[in-house]
Every structure is written in C-alpha cells, then in structure tokens.
Amino acid sequence: MRDETVLGRDTAHAIALTGISKMYGLVTALHPTDLSVDKGEFLTLLGPSGSGKTTLLNLIAGAIGPTTGTIFLDGRDITQMPPRDRGIGMVFQNYALMPHMTVFDNVAYPLRARRQPASTIRAKVTEALERVGLRGFEDRKPRQLSGGQQQRVGIARCIVYSPAIIMMDEPLGALDKNLREQLQSEIKRLHKELGTTIIYVTHDQEEALNMSDRICLMSAGQITQLGTPDELYFQPRNRFVAEFIGESNLISGRTNGNGQLMIAGNRSIPVPAGGWTDGAELLVMVRPERVQICDMDEPVKEGSNVLSGEIGTTSFVGGMTRVTVQTENGLNMTARMVSGRAESRPQAGARVRVCWSSSDMVVLET
C-alpha cells in the first residue's frame, strides 16, 4: 500500500496533492492526480479550456472541495480548511478588486482582515505598491486605472500579506500583447525577489514557456506531462503535448529490420535511437525550426534526412518565415527559418529539398 500521508507530510514541498479528484455528478472534472510543488517554484498549469487546470486551482484555493484525495500545505492537511484560513494568495483574471475602495484600501484589505495595527498596514501597503510601481496611486479608485494598473493592484494586494503560495488565474488574459509581455517580466522579477511559490494558470503556451520553472500540461482532467519548459518542448511525451506546445511535423512509420523507418511513399529514414522491435509503428516529431530548406544542388550534411518536394506556402511573420513543403512522397513538412528580404525568401512552387538531423527526431507515445 502506498503511504499517502507520509508522501504529503514532508515539508520540503510548498504544496502536495495526493490522489486528488473532482467529480460533478457523473462528469469527471479532474481524474485522481498527484502533484507536488517545491518551495519557491514557479509552476504553470497549462492546458486548453476544460482541461481541469482551473478545477485544480480552485481545489488548492478551497473554492471547491475534492471528491477524493488530500491536499497538504507545507506538510499540513488542509483538505477541509475553509479558504480564509489557508493563507494562500490569488490573482484573478478580471482583477476582482473592490470597486468602491481606493487602491490603498484594496491593498490593505487582507491586512485589515488579519487585524494588523494601522502603522504596520501603512508601511506594508506602501512597500507593496512600491514593488508594483504604483506609489502615488493610493487614493485612486480601480475604475480610474488602466487594466495593467488594476492587475498590479491585484498583485500588490496579494504580496502584501506574504502568502506561502500565490496562485494566478490567467492574470494577463484581459491585457493586450505588449502589456502582457511587460507584466510577464514584472511577475518573474517579483517571483525572484520574493522567493514565493507561484502556481500560474494560463492557456498561452508562450507565456508558460517564458515564465515557468516547471509546466504541468493538462488535458481532459489529467496531467499529460509535467516537466521543465525545455523538456516539454524538446521531449514531448505524446502527440497532444507536441501539438499543444509549439508547432510540429509528425511523421508516422513502421520499423524494418535494417534500422530503417518506412514512411509515406515507401521512403525510408534511419530509425531514431531506442531499442525498437521490428515492425513497430512509430510516431516521430521534428520541430519546424530544426527543418532546413536547401536548393536541389546544395550538398547535405552527413546524418541528415532529406526529402525533395515543392514549396506550398510561405508566410512572413516578422522575424521568422514559415514555409510549408509538399514532399514527393506525400508528406506535408513545415519549416521555420529566420526571415530574409522578400527576394531571398523561398517562392511558392519552387523545387527544394527539406532536411533535418536524425538527432532532432523525437519518438512520441501513441
């Protein structure tokens, strides 16, 4: 028998979930899940809507109770504890500021709920507003602030009482791109300065890659893969991960006895490392930026896979240009290259070869 209690009780983890699940009637919002978050870690819950990430967040916050399982906060069982006693902080997507209160009163709210003396409150609120760059805005009402400023108040209101864990529920979802990037780096800076554990929810994969120590990718109420951004990007476990994070070329084939993988159009490429049995069906992924486009007469590097074909579309999206190639054996390959001027970019219909190194291929679980 697995000793769940001991598993959660160690205090090395800021939070530990053991066998936690949530059912609504017959609908499973979250399958039994184990997850532990280290102290000071920035963990992102990433996934499409309905994947269970918000359910997981609400379970930790105490907004909903789990159907099964236990939640440990710093080694204490908090499964039955009401939200107000958990001492967790939360930043909301739509800010959830008190519209009738000034910025100062909003940030002071958690301190007043803890009945701290006025002088302490003044000092802490001032410091928190300083940290988010909102000194001098104390007397404004939330509606007199921009969206970015309002979310800064939301963050100040959270860090002001130094909660052990701060949860952020798509905090930048309502902001435009530039502001979002600016606040991303501010949140990263605050995380570094304060050393708080942050659990961050987003459906934006770039945000997740940029900010996280670890990403917990969820789909259909389960954790699909948990790992560093690097692992999720370069070592995706399965097709869902590969397609959700970044773009990917998927090639399916069957191994033959000679170390070759038979792919579409009776072509063969070397089988990626890993002791595959003969006749095994494999799904292989190559990231578009690892795929190169070469002219027909250009020499190719040793150990490269080469397929010839015709350029389908070219889309110029700023720094990168995305090129699709219809290969002769019937594959649709996408390559991503650093943009040059229009004259030097591949033209649709041109005959080219696509090549990629065998070491850039990742075998996915099917």
Partner 1 sequence: MNRISIIRAQAIFMSPAVLAATLLILPPLLYVFYTSVYGPALSLAAYGQVLTSKLFRQTLTTTLVVAGLSSLLSLLLGFVVALHLARQPARRRAFLTVLVLLPFWTSVLVKCFAFTVILGREGIINSMLSWIFGIKIQLPLVLNMVGLLVGMTNFLIPLVVLPVLASLLAIDSAIYRAAAIMGAKPARIFWTVTLPMSLPGLLAGLLSIFVMSLGAFIVPSLLGGPQDQMLSSLVAFYNREVLDWQKASAISVVLLGMVFIFAAPLALWRRRKLKA
With contacts defined by CB under 8 A, name the span among 68-76, 105-113, 184-192, 306-314 that binds partner 1. 105-113
Tokens of 324: 């699709």
Sheet architecture: strand order including 68-73 = 27-38, 13-24, 68-73, 76-77
CB neighbour list of residue 143: distance below 8 Å, 6 or more residues apart: 99
User: Does the protein bind partner 1 through residue 25 (CB under 8 A)?
Assistant: no
Other CB atoms within 10 A of residue 7 CB: 16
User: Does the protein bind partner 1 through residue 114 (CB under 8 A)?
Assistant: yes
Distance of CA 52 to the CA centre of its chain: 14
Q: Which of residues 261-300 bind partner 1 (CB under 8 A)?
A: none
User: Does the protein bind partner 1 through residue 113 (CB under 8 A)?
Assistant: yes
In 3-state terms, what secondary structure has residue 324? strand
76 CB-side CA count, 13 A: 10
User: Does the protein bind partner 1 through residue 348 (CB under 8 A)?
Assistant: no
Q: Which of residues 34-73 bind partner 1 (CB under 8 A)?
A: 61-63
Q: Which CB atom, from 143 or from 341, has the smaller least distance to partner 1?
A: 143
- Can you tell me the distance from the alpha carbon of 204 to that of 183, in angstroms, rounded to the nearest whole number? 14
- Can you tell me the distance from the alpha carbon of 131 to that of 123, in angstroms, rounded to the nearest whole number? 12
Report the residue from 109, 137, 244, 356 that binds partner 1 according to the rule CB under 8 A: 109
**Smallest separation, CB 89 to partner 1 (Å):** 7
User: Does the protein bind partner 1 through residue 118 (CB under 8 A)?
Assistant: no
Q: What does each C-alpha distance from 101 to 78, 97, 117, 138, 262 come to in angstroms?
A: 31, 8, 19, 10, 67
Q: What does each C-alpha distance from 280 to 253, 257, 259 come to in angstroms?
A: 8, 10, 12
**Smallest separation, CB 156 to partner 1 (Å):** 12
With contacts defined by CB under 8 A, name the span among 8-16, 17-25, 73-81, 106-114 that binds partner 1. 106-114
User: Does the protein bind partner 1 through residue 104 (CB under 8 A)?
Assistant: no
User: Does the protein bind partner 1 through residue 133 (CB under 8 A)?
Assistant: no
Q: Which CB atom, from 90 or from 263, has the smaller least distance to partner 1?
A: 90
Q: Which CB atom, from 168 or from 355, has the smaller least distance to partner 1?
A: 168
- Can you tell me the distance from the alpha carbon of 29 to that of 195, in angstroms, rounded to the nearest whole number? 31
Contact track, partner 1, 195-234, x by CB under 8 A = ----------------------------------------
**Smallest separation, CB 94 to partner 1 (Å):** 6
**Smallest separation, CB 183 to partner 1 (Å):** 19
User: Does the protein bind partner 1 through residue 32 (CB under 8 A)?
Assistant: no
Cα diameter, the chain: 78
Report the residue from 5, 10, 76, 84 that binds partner 1 according to the rule CB under 8 A: 84
Report the residue from 99, 133, 259, 279 that binds partner 1 according to the rule CB under 8 A: 99
Report the residue from 88, 175, 217, 335 that binds partner 1 according to the rule CB under 8 A: 88
User: Does the protein bind partner 1 through residue 346 (CB under 8 A)?
Assistant: no
User: Does the protein bind partner 1 through residue 110 (CB under 8 A)?
Assistant: yes
- Can you tell me the distance from the alpha carbon of 207 to that of 229, in angstroms, rounded to the nearest whole number? 11
Contact track, partner 1, 151-190, x by CB under 8 A = ------x---x-----------------------------
**Smallest separation, CB 83 to partner 1 (Å):** 5
- Can you tell me the distance from the alpha carbon of 208 to that of 86, in angstroms, rounded to the nearest whole number? 26
Q: Can you point out the beta strands (E) in the chain?
A: 13-24, 27-38, 42-46, 68-73, 76-77, 88-91, 165-169, 197-202, 214-219, 222-227, 249-255, 260-263, 267-270, 281-286, 292-294, 304-317, 320-327, 332-338, 351-357, 362-364
List b or e across 255-275, with b for residues whose CB sees 16 or more CB atoms inside 10 angstroms. Answer: beeeeebbbeeebbbebbeee
Report the residue from 19, 32, 75, 83 that binds partner 1 according to the rule CB under 8 A: 83
Q: Which residues lie near partner 1 (CB under 8 A)?
A: 61-63, 82-90, 92, 94, 96-100, 109-110, 113-114, 157, 161
